[in-house]
Amino acid sequence: MNEQAKVFGGPRPLREGSPPRGLFQGRNFMTPAIESYHPLRDGQSWAELSGGRGINNDPIFGVTIRPDPEYKLSAMFYSRDEAIEYIKERS
Residue pLDDT, tens place only, 38-76 = 999 999 999 999 999 999 999 999 999 999 888 899 999
pTM value > 0.85? no
For residue 19, tell me if it sits in a domain.
no
The Cα–Cα gap between 71 and 1 comes to: 31
Please count the structural domains in the chain. Answer: 1
Contact indicator for 64, 47 with CB cutoff of 8 Å: yes
- CA-to-CA dists, residue 65 to 27, 34, 49, 82, angstroms: 14, 13, 9, 15
Residue 15 lies inside a defined structural domain of this protein: no
Structural domain containing residue 74: 31-91
CB under 8 Å, gap of 24 or more: what pairs does 72-79 form? Answer: 76/30, 76/31, 78/54
In a domain, 9, yes or no: no
Mean pLDDT of all residues in 12-27: 77
User: What pLDDT score does 5 carry?
Assistant: 37
β-sheet bridge partners, residue 66: 46
68 in any annotated domain: yes
- Residue 26 confidence (pLDDT) above 80: no
Q: Is residue 6 part of a domain?
A: no
